[in-house]
Amino acid sequence: MISIIIPTFNRAHFLGETLESIIDQTFQNWECIVVDDGSTDATSELMEFYCAKDRRFKYYHRPGEMLKGPSSCRNFGFKKSGGEWIKWFDSDDILLPFALEKILKHTGAYDLIISSVKYIDEKKQPIDLVHRYIPAQNLIEDYFVGKISYYTSSPTWNRIFLEKQQELFDEKIRNFDDWDFNLRMIYQKPKVKIIEIPLLQYRLHTYSLSKEIDNLNFNELKSEFYARKKHLKVLQKVSGVDLIFLKKYDRSRCKRNFRQALVSGHRKKFHLYIMLSKRQIKLFEFKQFFKFTLGYMVFSFFRKGEKLLR
């Protein structure tokens, strides 16, 4: 059996399509566990309908003592699951009808099966873009800097492998939760099978967390940099990793966000300046530190001096 675990929060307008795509699977030995993170829309009524329609659907609310967020919901859902294979899924994505059948043809001795992804928009219209997975020269470094990636929904995990881990999803991380989880699993060197054909549709819309980063949601930015800082600390003990390269990438991400915040007049621009300054000093980039400090002051007072922020 395969367990599909879905955290959800106010996604009733998408969730029905997701659940219908699971019902339509050619492989039928599944259970679907939906964990509600405190929805205030019609999610409860929707799940009441689907649980009555098909007993393979199970609906839970995140326990109050657990931190709010998808990571807590996924961890709780895992405890309630019984499948030999685990598929974390999002409440707005769509499984293609043959997805589970294709996945379970490749189980063998693998710990992880990854498929390609097709993109759709809010109205379920296809976007001319397919996310595929290419071999990596250095898997840890390439994943850290985003040269390769896989979302929460595209992998399917062997339960035995997951049960060996000390921690699944870090409940303190809201954004980058999948990045953090996948990277920690990569450290354990799972046996991976890649399926080249797309097996799910990934919905791009204005409510996604990736859009929150682009819109400079400060809480999501803090979550991203907490996750990177956490892994940079771990990677100090990992051989074969260019730690300076990864620290410079982390600094570059911070520089980009600070520059964008300053130019747009974001209320948290000073906090982002501090985050960037700490990284520049730790990398002994004193010239850059003074240049950006001067640029910050000049632009704050005169709305000029963007060249200093390059």
Residues 245 and 124 grouped into a single domain: no
pLDDT band at 136 (very low <50, low <70, confident <90, very high): low
Residues 169, 218 within the same domain: no
pLDDT at residue 108, as a whole number: 79
- 240 with 198, same domain: the answer is no
Q: Which of 206, 234, 262 is the last residue of a domain?
A: 206
Domain that holds residue 112: 2-206
Best CA proximity match to 151, nearest among 114, 102, 188: 114
pLDDT in the model for residue 158: 96
pLDDT value at position 148?
Answer: 83
CA dist 36 and 60 (Å) reads 6
Residue 292: exposure state from Cβ atoms within 10 A (0-12, 13-18, ≥19): buried
Task: Answer yes or no: do 191 and 166 share one domain.
Answer: yes
Whether residue 201 is found in the same domain as residue 222:
no
Residues 199 and 221 occupy one common structural domain: no
Lowest mean pLDDT among 7-16, 42-51, 200-209, 278-287: 200-209
Calculate what percentage of the chain has a pLDDT beyond 70.
93
Residues 38 and 169 in one domain: yes
Same domain, 58 and 157: yes
Total tally of structural domains belonging to the chain:
2
Please give the pLDDT value at position 243. Answer: 94
130: pLDDT confidence band, cut at 50, 70 and 90? low
Which of the 8 DSSP states describes residue 9?
Answer: S
Please report, for the domain that includes residue 120, its CATH number: 3.90.550.10
pLDDT band at 19 (very low <50, low <70, confident <90, very high): very high
Given pLDDT bands bounded at 50, 70 and 90, which one contains residue 123? confident
The confidence score (pLDDT) of residue 131 equals 65
- Show which of 155, 174, 206 is a domain's final residue: 206
Whether the predicted pLDDT of 215 surpasses 70: no
Given this model, what pLDDT does residue 127 score?
81
Whether the pLDDT of residue 211 is over 70: the answer is no
Q: Which of 37, 72, 43 is nearest to 57 (CA)?
A: 43
Structure token pair of residue 259: 């520059």
Q: What is the mean pLDDT of the chain?
A: 89
Rounded mean pLDDT of 204-230? Answer: 70
User: Torsion angle, CA of 218/124/181/74, rounded to 10 degrees?
Assistant: 100
Same domain, 251 and 123: no
pLDDT tens-digit series, residues 252-294: 999 988 888 888 888 888 988 999 999 999 999 999 999 889 9
Residues 234 and 138 in one domain: no
Q: Is the pLDDT reported for residue 214 higher than 60?
A: no
207-213 average pLDDT score = 48
Contact 8, 39 (CB under 8 A): yes
CA distances to 22, 140, 155, 299 from 135, rounded to whole Å, are: 30, 12, 16, 43
Q: What is the residue-wise DSSP string for 194-213?
A: EEEEEEEEEEP-TTSHHHHH
Specify the pLDDT at position 261.
85
Domain end (from 157, 180, 206): 206
Q: Of 218-222, 253-257, 283-287, 295-299, which has the strongest mean pLDDT?
A: 283-287
Based on the domain organization, do 186 and 83 belong to the same domain? yes
Residues 188 and 239 in one domain: no
pLDDT score at 210: 47
